Chain A
Amino acid sequence: MAGLMAGFGHYTHAVVRGIPSSLAKEALRSCQAEVDVAKARREHDAYVEVLRTRLGLEVVELPADESLPDCVFVEDAAVVCGDTALITRPGAESRRRETEAMKGALKDLNLNIVEMTDENATLDGGDVLFTGREFFVGLSKRTNQRGAEILADAFKDYAVSTVPVLEGLHLKTFCSMGGPGLIVIGSSEPAQKTLKIMQQMSDHRYDKLTVPDDLAANCVYMNLPNKGHVLMHCTPEQYPESVKVFEKLKDHMLIPVSNLEKVKVDGGLTCCSMLINKKANN
């Protein structure tokens, strides 16, 4: 068995969920925008295809639920670390039921399920940044202190630090992990400020990769057998300048993934999948 905190980025499974038609009209969004569901679905299909075919993950696809317009963003419904899955209590009332299907899927994967039952607690998975050594939980519109406490309780091995999310929906809206000890961060002032706080709060040193566009900082890192460092990031069409930055990562397998439609409803690349390392659980 792998030791504690070993194998950051190792994943075997991915849980994804379909896009309901209701996404176009009812999905929550911070700015008004027209969403083309068909385009979004094509985008999502491509995304899942990368996971399944290109990266060889075992993909668990949950069916879309029309009553849950945001259900495609499975990341918010749970936080998985090791063999423990914390089923969250999403900050948005309309999304609370998204966790049910997720819980079932994670149970099927034999994860230890921890549920957030406290009615005062809210937590979106998008506010949880796991660096491999510790958690940062963004205190945002969707996530509160209590939610963070429960997360800390669920993952006792790790330090859980709270950082304020000054701008944007989630913490991971403007940052994510780009590798072991590498934080990809947007260049906006709030993003940089948040990074500073994270660095101050941590006993560990992190490198940072600053990309010009905050939203481009949301990318998906994996460390896969036979593939090494893999990074799914934005496309040149969307954020050309940021892509140039990603392209400096010589050791990474870079996979641009389009996210033009989902971003309209505040969806990032990390939002669309729940990555799990099942081998670690055995």
Chain B
Amino acid sequence: MTTEAGSETEVKEKAEESAAQPDQSEKASEETKEVANAEGEEKEKEKEKEGKEGKGISRYLPTWLKKQKSQSQTSPTKEAPPTEEPVAKVTQEEEGPAPEVNGQAEEVEEKEEVKSEQVKEKEAESHSNTSADTEPAKEEKVDESTEKSPEETKKEATEGEGAEEEKKKEQEGEKEAKEGGGEEGQTSIFQSPLRLVRKNKMKLVVCHVTLLDGTDFSCEVEKRAKGQFLFFKVCEHLNLLEKDYFGLTYMDSHEEKCWLDPTKEIKRQIRSNNWQFAFNVKFYPPDPSLLTEDITRYLLCLQLREDVASGRLPCSFVTHALLGSYTLQAEFGDHEPDQPRPLDYIGQATFAPNQNKEMEEKILELHKSHRGMTPAQADAQFLENAKKLSMYGVDLHHAKDSEGVDIMLGVCANGLLVYKDRLRINRFAWPKILKISYKRNNFYIKIRPGETEQFESTVGFKLQNHRSAKRLWKVCVENHSFFRLNAPEPPTKARFLTLGSKFRYSGRTQAQTRLASSLIDRPAPNFERTSSKRISRSLDGAPVISITEATAENGREPHLELQSDSKDHDKTQEEVLKHQASISQLKRSFMEAPPPSPPQPNQWEKRLTSSPATSIRIQQQQVSLEEEIASVLFSRHSAAGFYSADETDCSVPEATLDAVICSASATVCSSSSSPQKLLISSTISAAEVVEPQTEAAPADNTISDTKEPAKTTEVEIEETVVVQEVSRVAKPGVVTVTAGLPAAEQETRKQEVRVVEEEVMLKEEVKPTKQESVSSESESEEEAEYHPNMPIAQIPEEKEEEEEQEEMKKKEEVEEDVSVPDAPSIPAEEETNRAEDDVKKIETEESTDDPMVTPDEAPNGVLPPEEGLAAPTLEKEEPKVNGEASLVEAEPRPQVICCSEPPVVKTEMVTISDTFAAQKTEIATKEVPIVHTETKTITYEAAQLDGNGDGEPGVLMTAQTITSESLCTTTTTHITKTLKGGLSETRIEKRIVITGDCDIDHDQALAQAIKEAKEQHPDMSVTRVVVHKETELADEED
């Protein structure tokens, strides 16, 4: 830190601007969180955020300034101790060049805040000055953001210590407002759709990112920050605009390299608190000459040099020499016999896995022939040759074929390659692939029938484990999307088509990034090459441009935690109320909202973001939509059930509630909530029916909050979020709990209110939510399908069946995972683990502060963008769908009906047409090996209605889900925009799921739900009510 100070001080005067940036970024991050949550495309907010983030600013800053910052930041951060506070201080110092900061760093946080404010002001000024080219400022937006941000921040600040945090928040809000005037307008075309999400008040963590030149970049991020936040920070540091080709990797608990999902919280992806990352090329552009900027090519070169030197990219002796010679030319310029440096460098540098003297001589010899070539030209030549290598851009995965023979699966821009040893034995071009899926450790591709073939065939491969299978699947989905699609697959459609994980590529496609790149209008940035750094000889003489903003934020973070939760809660509640009241607005926004191609935060989402669970909820809800379409009723996440289980924890009711919520939010959590869950498993196994609103489930002693929660919901939700953050507190007991869940009987009621142009359909479905939630996640992890060609939607029914099976499996697996909390290394799997962790945390923290949770929510909200379509969750009716949120990550596909505990033996479907009157009963029986469960579904249908849910004639334009969760109740709202014969129809479907451990009085619950729904939306009609009841018959499970 001290070292940092020195450099910073030097830079101070000029750096004031830069310093300001970090602050802005912080603020931005706060705002962004909201935005992120609303992944929709709210450009305005995004712009604001961007501006705040400082990217825009960075552009304006003189390169030399940037350099200094970057340098100073990098080194100091590294040194900075892992502790949050110290880090924060450091960061501030870094950010704010002023030496003052350093001194203060150790001092009270408040001081830091003040500084930051000052800085912000400065920034604002600087921006105004510097950014002549800035886009039209969006003051209005800014104002909004500012208003929101404080609230949000408060909410966010979970971890405790509210007073300070609150102050900070307020200050920040002010700052933001100030800033907003000047800077917000800037929009960068170059930013990918994914937004950075951050909150200032959260705890800060130091991230170490290994850059392509081998240097380490450290920055602080909030614990809750999403992957994209860190990624953007790094890109800023690198001054990289064409960032869509790149990504961050981390090593999971199994020492396997994983891509950091930009839309998810970092903390939930990495295992073990190891905040180590690497900046890497994720998508190798087939033709690097089409890249717009030399700096992008340079970074690609760095990656390829490493790939070649490590042997990942095999090439011949001659090619090694040729590539090495271009590297020399790029780094050192023309060969000069007098200067021995290149020779020395050659000795040190690694050009090939088995480099020898002969090769070095050849490299030198070739180097001589490149005389006169500029570094950029040498890079271009390097790439021209490297791109022709057969393994260029091929991501290899170990697998076995159907006969158990070891093979390698290579994912690349063109498709999937199958290698045996070094030989290519098969190839499946993307256009040939109809579907990509995985199930457990099996990876399948469905192949389009050839000219002479009549039937499509499916090829299966075995991977080491399901984590590997999921990882491969994700890579395939991403590569296909990036290279083959014009725009990312709209979430909605994808959902309909997909089972299991709803993971989709959330970034920009190559086509989009090329378009964006073509709009880059800045002078070619200077950048420092590695050799210059190492050897202190700079060819270009251009310093590296990098701005680190993260540091500034760090300083604040500790305080943030302290901020009062109470405030946050209040705000959230208010927001919730607003949400409820503003359905019509939502509709409009939806209508206006552009198609979800690039996942960007919607207004909805933004609004929703306030609630922690949003993102998750959205996903879940989406799922629910799918389900509805399929005419299948699934209760995915009913936290309530768990809560009931939580009874054991009665002693600490609040805590349990939080935990429950958290669990729900975490998806996995539902089961996961540690001790409670455990209890639940046992208790639930018996039978759990929770009908939160109407009748508090008897079992839920602790939960006791039926409707009350609804309004409190917001608070709860926030808590949930916190829980996730808290998750670190993991308690062993939790894990076991998850396992128990499956056995438990759960009943969830989902009320779906669909408003089709004013018409509201109410569906109440009682489904075993608890298990579902878990299962859904598990499923996603275990299975997933992806239809590269966007084939016709699969038949829902089939999906259901599959889903059920999947769920069963997943559940089983999930249980396993739960038992071994750390075991799941894969991101998807991680969810479950996370959930567990979250639960644990919740327990601990819950007792202390519920409000704390809220902060977490914000981050979650940000995440949703992946699904893009994900609708913001509405907290209106019933609080807390938090549980779902977690599920969302898993991206539940088709969640099998009802909680579907595998064990379901009897299923009863009761359909009542005419709102309450008629009852139809359908009995379906499914036998699942393990547990016997009864499932009852009661559907109330208004005579008028159409089956909105099912096959819709029109085209689904957008679907958004708003979910709020209470302990026992989950409300999901889907807004669907449909084009029917030129008419656009907007339908809002609201699904309320009530879950409980004990028997629920359906009528009462329904009546209550409908009543509430009508109160909220007088102009809507209830078209359908479904009650789904699932009960375990016996304890066989044990």
Contact = CB atoms under 8 A, between A and B. Distances in A.
Nearest to B385: A4
Given A1-B322, A158-B390, A200-B427, A152 B422 contact: yes
A133 B389 CA distance: 9
Contact of B422 (A83, A112, A149, A200): A149
Nearest to A161: B424
A156 B315 CA distance: 5
Nearest to A162: B423
Interface in B374-432: 381, 384-385, 388-391, 412, 414, 420-427, 429, 432
A133 to B, nearest CB: 8
A4 B424 contact: no
B425 A161 contact: yes
Interface in A1-45: 1, 3-5
A160 B322 contact: no
B460 interface: no
A160 B424 contact: yes
B925 interface: no
Contacts of B420: 145
Contacts of A202: 427
B316 A84 contact: yes
Contact of A4 (B389, B414, B427): B389
A221 interface: no
B315 A157 contact: yes
Contacts of B412: 203
B319 A4 contact: yes
A162 B316 contact: no
B457 to A, nearest CB: 13
Given A82-B316, A156-B314, A157-B319, A5 B424 contact: no
Contact of A157 (B366, B389, B414): B389
A149 B423 contact: yes
A202 B428 CA distance: 10
Chain B interface helix/strand/loop/mixed: mixed
Interface in B304-361: 314-319, 322
B1004 interface: no
A178 B730 CA distance: 67
A160 B423 contact: yes
A66 interface: no
A92 interface: no
A134 B424 CA distance: 11
Nearest to A82: B318
B584 interface: no
A276 to B, nearest CB: 15
Interface in A120-158: 133-134, 137, 145, 148-149, 152-153, 155-158
A201 B316 contact: no
Contact of B316 (A137, A156, A161): A156
A265 B184 CA distance: 80
Contacts of B423: 137, 145, 148-149, 152, 160-162
A203 B426 CA distance: 11
A1 B369 contact: yes
B853 to A, nearest CB: 50
A249 interface: no
A153 B390 contact: no
- Chain B contact-residue range equals 20 to 34
A161 B419 CA distance: 9
Contacts of A46: none
A159 interface: yes
Contact of B318 (A83, A152, A160, A200): A83
A3 B421 contact: no
Contacts of B315: 156-157
B426 A201 contact: yes
B385 A201 contact: no
Contact of B322 (A4, A148, A149, A200): A4
Interface string A52-95: 00000000000000000000000000000011100000000000
Contacts of A4: 319, 322, 385, 388-389
Q: How large is the interface on A (under 10, 10 to 19, 20 to 34, 35 or more residues)?
A: 20 to 34
Contacts of A160: 390, 422-424
Interface string A161-172: 110000000000
A134 B392 CA distance: 13
Interface string B616-642: 000000000000000000000000000
Contact of B390 (A1, A84, A157): A157
B163 to A, nearest CB: 62
Name, among B317, B420, B423, the residue most crowded by chain A CB atoms within 10 Å (CB to CB): B423
Contacts of A82: 316, 318
Contacts of A161: 423-425, 427
B434 to A, nearest CB: 15
B318 A3 contact: no
B592 to A, nearest CB: 43
Nearest to A5: B388
A3 B314 contact: no
Contacts of B317: 84, 112
Interface string B420-453: 1111111101001000000000000000000000
A263 B33 CA distance: 75
Nearest to A150: B422
A254 B391 CA distance: 36
Nearest to A152: B422
B316 A157 contact: yes
Interface string A211-233: 00000000000000000000000
A156 B322 CA distance: 14
B379 to A, nearest CB: 14
Contacts of A156: 314-316, 319, 389, 422
A160 B418 CA distance: 11
A201 B251 CA distance: 33
Given A134-B390, A156-B316, A201 B422 contact: no
Contacts of A158: 390
Contacts of A162: 423-425
A153 B322 contact: no
Contacts of B319: 4, 156-157
Given A3-B385, A4-B388, A158-B390, A153 B318 contact: no
A201 B427 contact: yes
Contacts of A155: 316
Contacts of B422: 149, 152-153, 156, 160
A4 B385 CA distance: 6
Nearest to A163: B425
Contacts of B390: 134, 157-160
B322 A3 contact: yes
Nearest to B321: A1
Contacts of B318: 82-84
Interface in A198-214: 200-203
A1 B366 contact: yes
A225 B424 CA distance: 34
Contacts of A200: 426-427, 429, 432
A276 B366 CA distance: 21
Contacts of B388: 3-5, 133, 157
Nearest to A159: B390
A82 B425 CA distance: 24
Given A82-B318, A156-B314, A200-B429, 6 more contacts: A1-B369, A5-B388, A84-B316, A156-B315, A162-B423, A200-B432
9 contacts: A1-B366, A5-B388, A134-B390, A152-B421, A155-B316, A156-B315, A156-B319, A156-B422, A162-B425
Interface of B: 314-319, 322, 366, 369, 381, 384-385, 388-391, 412, 414, 420-427, 429, 432
- For the complex of A and B, the 4 pairs showing the least CB-CB separation, nearest first, are A159-B390, A152-B422, A156-B314, A161-B424
